[in-house]
Every structure is written in C-alpha cells, then in structure tokens.
Amino acid sequence: MINQSKFYLATALMILLSFVTMALAQTGAELTTPDMPEKMKTAIEKSLEDEAFAAKTQATIKPGEPTGFLGIPGAPNPSLLLGFLWAIWVGWIFSTVGAFGGIMAGVGHITIFGLADYAKSFGKGNPVNNLITDSIRVSNQWLVGLSGVITSFNYYRMGRLVAPLGICLAIGGVGGSWLVPELTAGKVSLKDYIGYFGLIVFVLGFFLVYEMTPKGAAGKKQAKAAAQAFEKAAREKTDTSDQGVKIVEGSWTFMWIALVTVVASALWINLIPVARWVAYILVIVGWALTFMIGTIRFTFFGQEFSFKAYVPMLGGITIAALASFLGVGGGFLYVPFLTSVAGLPMFLVAGTSALCVLVGMIVSIFSYMVGKGVVISWAFIGAELVGIFIGSMIGPRTSKYIPEKVLKIIFIVLAFYVGIRYTSKGFLGYSLLPPF
C-alpha cells in the first residue's frame, strides 16, 4: 500500500512538472531559430502570451522543419530564382507605364510565393501575422523604390522626365498620405466602398479608351504632336538629346524647399511621438509654398506645355486621400492624372510618375523600418532587387519603340485588372483575380 504522504508528494511533483513543461513550451524556445530576426522572436513570444493566439502559433510553426521566410520553421521558402525572374517583370512594367509596380510586386509576394496565406494562418491580430504582413508590404516598397530610382534616372538622362511635375505631385501626395489618415482616423472609412473604387478604376480605363479615339484625341493636340515626333525619331534612330524635356520657366528654389518640408512632416509624424503640431505646420507650409512657384513651362519635341504648380500638388493630395481611405497604393492613379489633367504624352508619363512614387516610397520605407522596426528577408529581397534593376533598365530603353497607343492599351488592360479585382472584392467579398 502506497504511503499517502508519498502519494501526495508524487502528485504535487507531477503537477509542478506539468506547469514547468507548459511554461517552457510557452517560452517559444522550440519555435525560434538562431538565424531568425530578433523582432520575429519577440513577436512569437508575445503571441504565446495570449491564449487567443498561442494555439495557432504553435500549430503553424513547425519545429524541426527547414526554416523559411524570416527564419520561421516550416514557413514558405520562396525560390530566389523565381523571385529574380518575377522582379524583372515588375521592374519592366513599372518603368514602362509608370504604374502597377506595387500591385505586381504584391501579386508575387502574396499569391505566387504564398506569404499572405501563411501570415493569415496565425489568425487576425496575431503579432506574428502583423509582422509578416508588414514585411510583405515593405518588401513591395523596396522593389518599387529601387525601380523608381533607376526609372527616374534613366528617363531624366533620356530627356523624358518632367521633374517639376513629379515633384509637385509628390509634395501633395507625401503630405496627404499621413495627414488624411491622421485627421479622419475612426471618423471616415471608405473600405466598405472598395467595390465602388473598382468601378471608378473601370471609368478611368474607359476614359483612356475614349482618349484614344479621334474625338478624344482632338483636345490633346500638343501631346499627340509631341508623341508623333518622338515616335518618328525613335524609328529613324536619330539623336533626340536636344529635343527632350527642357524647363523654360519655374522656381526650383520654392519647389525643393516645399518638398523637403513635406517629407520632414511625414518623418516627424511617424518617428517623433511628441509635439505632433510641428508636423501639421510643416505640411501646411510645404503646400503653401507651391502657390509661390507659379507657372511651370517646358518643351518636348517642339511642343510647349505648361501648368500651375499648385494643380498637381492638389492632385497629389486627392490621390493620396483616396489611396489612404481605401488602403491601396494609388500609384496607378497618377498616370490618368498625367495624361488627362496635365496633358502629357505617354512617353513622359512613366518617368514623371516614377519620380513621384519614389519620394513616397523613401518616406514609407524609412518610417516602417526605422520607426516601427519592420524586418524583411534580405536574401530573398536581394535576389528580387537584382531582377528589379534589370527590368528597370530594360523598360525605358524598350518603351521608346512601343507606340503611344500600345502603351495606353497596356495601362488600360492593367486598369481593368485592378477594376475587376476591387469590384469583386467589394461586392462579392473576395477577389476574382490575384492577389485573392
């Protein structure tokens, strides 16, 4: 017969051992790896402290299996070669039409490489899910950012970049990207109306189709004449260096001061937790300075174009507001603005749009990685950045041989792709096209 005191002692030891085992299991030691970023280790440990997330975290991470994305055991391990090849396409399309780089980068990271579905498997609100999602977002931005650098530089050298127009758009866009959410957070949300946003994209697509008709093109005589002259020069392979964009009027001083001011406002609001009023003052000053820039005039292949500096600034605010409300990138909205409102030929759109997007990407990447400590998979992103470099070098050199109508058709096809995706997501609850 077992002594009762020994029985109670053994039972107490077993219970204590169980608690110790559970505690050790909850530390996440088995779920982390030596090559995993500290930020990911912290996210895993934090998720294990919450009963609502712990079970899914333990079920999703597979100790002992090969490490994948961000060093997580059992996570998807994207092919470096496939990432490299996909990035060439991303770089080419963005540097050719000046849009859809972020969307295409997202299609790769979310759908082709399966990172989004893996993140979702941790459950909504799980710190691991949030960190992987932010990592995907910043990875997209790195690809678009590098493409923006290379694309802007190449088009500038080719005389196909209207720098003042891109800068003025960026002045409005960078400020609007943080100020609009700051003022409307918890008050206005249009995410429920994302289906209507898809319909708006359809309207933009059809409007560009209309612009290709004789009646629609009648009001764009300067753009058409410049495009025809450029196409002829490209066919005949003549020297076009003296016929590229030449700025003949406009204040660069006010323009650069305004840009630096709004960039400073965005960095302040994202990185400095005190005296937020400083950011408000900076953005208002930056926007006000564009009204002092006056009229910008430039020539391209014998045709003169002009615009008031504050017009693209206001356009940038509007585009940034719409993008912030709906949680989309919004870069593809710059192209219709540049062709329809600014009246540019497509041969000037890609470089100008890329410059505007580039400024926003620099601010966003810095804010996420420095301000929020978001981590990315440098090995995978490194392979993709090589592909982006190649694609972005090819795009500007091949686009000059593509007729303007074809460039518009490429954009229209991609616009309809975006329209179908957001319309179906808004009205059906799921996307008919990737990323789902």
9-21 confidence digits (pLDDT tens): 555 555 554 444 4
Which 3 state secondary structure label does DSSP give 79? Answer: coil
Q: SS3 of 35, please?
A: coil
Stretch 70-86: mean pLDDT: 92
The two structure tokens encoding residue 181: 């959410």
Other CB atoms closer than 10 Å to residue 158's CB: what's the count? 18
What does the pLDDT average to over 270-292? 92
Q: Average of pLDDT values for 196-221?
A: 80
Task: Look up residue 184 and give its amino acid.
Answer: T
Phi, psi dihedrals of residue 366, rounded to the nearest 5°: -60, -40
Hey, which bits of 210-267 come out as E strands? 246-249
Report the alpha-carbon distance of residue 29 to residue 340 in Å, rounded: 57
pLDDT value at 280 more than 90: yes
Q: Give the pLDDT score at 233.
A: 86
| pLDDT exceeds cutoff 90 at 282 | yes
Looking at per-residue pLDDT, the higher value among 193 and 415 belongs to 415
Give me the pLDDT at residue 26, please. 42
What average pLDDT does the segment 200-219 reach? 80
Q: What is the pLDDT of residue 372?
A: 81
pTM equals 0.85
